[in-house]
Structure 1
Amino acid sequence: MALSPTTRHFSMLRGFALADFFTLGNAACGMAGVLLAMGFMAEPEIRQFLLAAAMAPLALAFDVLDGRVARWRRQSSPLGRELDSLADIVSFGVAPAVLAHAAGMDGGWDVAALIYFVCCGVSRLARYNVTAETLSEGGDKVKYFEGTPIPSSVLLTAVLALAAWQGRIGEDLWLGAWELGPWVLHPLSLLFVLSGSLMISKTLHIPKL
């Protein structure tokens, strides 16, 4: 089909602000973390696991920069906010969960905990997007977070990286494993339950810097 005279290739990207490309950098780091964690499961080399974990702070750096660039350029927009949330769920929701699974949290209760964590992250970001205008009180910046922001999951990734550095993943995962009913639970996965629960709290207010 022929293109109309006004149609340009990659026209959607032409409409992106500079900050949006930093947001895409965040998403790229998250996806890299997922693929590296999957690679570790196929061929367990500790270097690959640590590299997957390193994608989280790198994604966080992009996440911080996109906000600062948007304010510097005064180019904040609903599109940018949606892009930011979609990138965050990959980098700080799905990627940490996949890394935890690669670390050995593969029992039935672990899987349920990791799914719960990701669903909490999705819910947290959706609520933020819906309420951001109200929370900003007519200004151009949200004053506080309801619940912990999803990038706080970088702390979970740091715990996994430390465990891997000490050789305490897989069968030697910290705190061991418990058989509870039909499934196995690695108590370390409860950190993900705690993190997810804090993200969806409405009573916990954290000032946004």
Structure 2
Amino acid sequence: MSFTLFYYIWCLMKHLPNLLTLANLFCGCSAIAFILNAQPFYIAQGGISLPVWGVEQLYWGSLLIGIAAICDILDGFVARSLQLFSPIGKDLDSLADLVSFGVAPAMILFKLLWAAEMKEPGALNASMLTTAPAFLLACFGALRLARFNVSAPQKGGFTGMPIPAAGIFVASFPLLLWYNPYGIGEFLYNKWVIYLIIALLSWLMVSKIRFIKLMPAKWDMAHTWPQLILIVATVALFFAVKSAAIPFAFILYILLSLFYKQPVEKTTAEASL
């Protein structure tokens, strides 16, 4: 009896990383459903047209992307701890990341561009082509993941911004719209601001800039001080600026990656991309 129980526990543990990856994918798909269900409309108040959203749907979409990020962290941690690595697991992880941090955040950008178009005169005749750039985030995210999959393992960091970082940044936008700290949320109804964000994130993901790993395999002050600074600063920002903490932490992540230089050998596969 005890041997049978041990066997089933071992089978569960052996597949735990992939189960967590599938949970990541499930959350990403669910987030897309909630985000697409959020319909913007406008009410006239004091001669001003104010946007109103299906706030609950956007909130749940952002929350599910956040849960997907936790699952993404845990599947890597479990795989390293139990030494359970496989080509299937690596490809499955990339597919899940593309949905949760590429397609789902792209849907948020799509909704923001749609809301921006609804504010324009003649909105009923607006072309859907103006919202199409939102999906560039998913396209460049796919390219980033494909390049990562054919590259040799990189110690200490990544070449190009990891797609989860870009996805979590975009997932914070509905929170900014709801709480509107310091009036930041109002800028997200400007389509040119959204276009700029799309262009910047797309470029960062496929750039040759070295970005630090958010969750290094080994922690020590000599090599992981940027991550420690980022964690402490993010916690402090949550107490100070609440919902605006994620965008500020994202900017800090970029700055720390730019200032922290670590020598890295360029692989043949990476050099050709």
Q: TM-score range by the shorter chain?
A: 0.7 to 0.9
What is the CA–CA distance in structure 1 between the aligned matches of 2:106 and 2:135, rounded to whole Å? 8
- The alignment covers a number of residue pairs equal to 178
Answer whether contact 2:108 2:170 (CA < 8 A) is retained.
no
Task: Find the partner of 1:127 among 139, 147, 152.
Answer: 147
Residue 20 of structure 1: aligned partner: 18
* % identical equivalent positions: 31
1:93-132 deviations in Å (ceiling 9; x for gaps): 00001122223446534422x222111100000000000x
- Could you tell me which amino acid in structure 2 is paired with residue 147 of structure 1? G
Q: Is 1:78 aligned to 2:87, yes or no? A: yes
* Structure 2: 5+ residue stretches without partners: 1-10, 42-52, 118-128, 217-273
How big is the alpha-carbon RMSD for the aligned residues of Structure 1 and Structure 2? Answer: 2.7
Answer whether contact 2:32 2:104 (CA < 8 A) is retained.
yes
* Superposition TM-score, scaled by structure 1 size: 0.75
Q: Which structure's relative contact order is higher, taking Cα pairs within 8 Å and 6+ residues apart? A: 1
Task: Find the partner of 1:111 among 116, 132, 140.
Answer: 132
What is the CA–CA distance in structure 1 between the aligned matches of 2:135 and 2:86, rounded to whole Å? 30
Map 1:147-166 → 2, pairs under 5 A: 147-152=160-165, 153-166=167-180
1:171-191 deviations in Å (ceiling 9; x for gaps): x952654xxxxxxx4422321
CA separation of 1:97/1:87 partners in 2, compared to 1, >3 Å: closer, same or farther? same
Residue 146 of structure 1: aligned partner: 159
Task: Find the partner of 2:200 among 175, 194, 198.
Answer: 194
* Structure 1: 5+ residue stretches without partners: 1-12, 137-141, 178-184
* Superposition TM-score, scaled by structure 2 size: 0.59
Q: Is 1:174 aligned to 2:192, yes or no? A: no
- Could you tell me which amino acid in structure 1 is paired with residue 61 of structure 2? A
What is the CA–CA distance in structure 2 between the aligned matches of 1:175 and 1:81, rounded to whole Å? 35
Greater helix percent: which structure? Answer: 2
**Larger Rg: 1 or 2?**
2
Q: Would you identify which runs of 4 or more consecutive aligned residues in structure 1 move more than 6 Å?
A: none
Answer whether contact 1:31 1:90 (CA < 8 A) is retained.
yes
